[in-house]
Amino acid sequence: MGRRETALQAAHSRLRELIGSEFRVGDKLPNERDLADRLEVSRATVREVLGQLAGEGVVTRTWGIGTFVHDGVERVPVSIGDVTALRDRITASGHRPTLQDAAVSRAKCPPGCAEVLGVEPDSPVWRVDRLFAVDGVPAAWIRDHLPLRFDGRDLDPSGLLSIDLDMFEFLASATGMPVRRAEIELVAVLADEEATARLDVPLGHPLVTATQIGYGAGDVALFHGHFTVRTDVLTLRISRGGQPEPAR
């Protein structure tokens, strides 16, 4: 065994011991320079060891955010390449989805949402808030805005208070127009106070948020949504080849 391999093994063992003795699940580790100083090794060695620990599931690394102690919970893969209910995606992965909290209310339409839905800013729309859990762990908080009426039909989204009805099923039934295409924009963020309360994570916990717009035939916008995902519970997978559409 060469000296380099021996040094890497030693650094690997020392860093695992450090994590186990001084940090808890969800804690952010010091940066590579500080770890290198503490372990008395080079930053390149620290970087390589962190990569090994990430592969072992000891830590999770998010580019531009940092390295965090992993809880060992299995992540549930969720594809956002198909228009399929989030409920069904979780079930297909062998896990149990639940709706921990849900609310439907009338609210003022935010400006960006109003432009998409073709209504005046601050005009009344439906707001649907849902908190999905995987095996009892909060995983995804979704807030959707829908018009009160569509093509002369009054919309009643109260059925979305149950996990038995998903957004795509509701829209297809209520509007007579299924969601055919969706646009989604993903952003990596750190948990703020509202996300902390909703998803039961500490302030600064790495999350992924997304803005999503669902379109029916003729590119008519049916809903404007925003969801926030715990990537330590759900793994988002994007499939290329067709027009990307999100899981809900």
The CATH homologous superfamily to which domain 76-237 belongs is Chorismate lyase-like (3.40.1410.10)
In this structure, are residues 7 and 15 in contact, taking their beta carbons and an 8 Å threshold?
no
User: In this prediction, what percent of the chain has a pLDDT beyond 70?
Assistant: 85
Query: For 70-79, 185-194, 216-225, which range has the lowest pLDDT when averaged over its residues?
Result: 70-79
> Quick one: tokens of 157?
């989204």
Q: Is-above-0.85 flag for pTM?
A: no
In this structure, are residues 180 and 203 in contact, taking their beta carbons and an 8 Å threshold?
no
Buried/exposed code over 114-131 (b: 16+ C-beta within 10 A; e: otherwise): bebbebeeeeebbbbbbb
Could you say which architecture CATH assigns to the domain 3-69? Orthogonal Bundle (1.10)
Res. 79 pLDDT band, cuts 50 70 90: low
Domain boundaries, the chain: 3-69, 76-237
pLDDT: is 58 or 221 the higher one?
A: 221
Looking at the predicted structure, is the pLDDT value of residue 113 above 70? yes
Contact partners, residue 40, CB within 8 Å, separation at least 6 = none
Res. 241 pLDDT band, cuts 50 70 90: very low
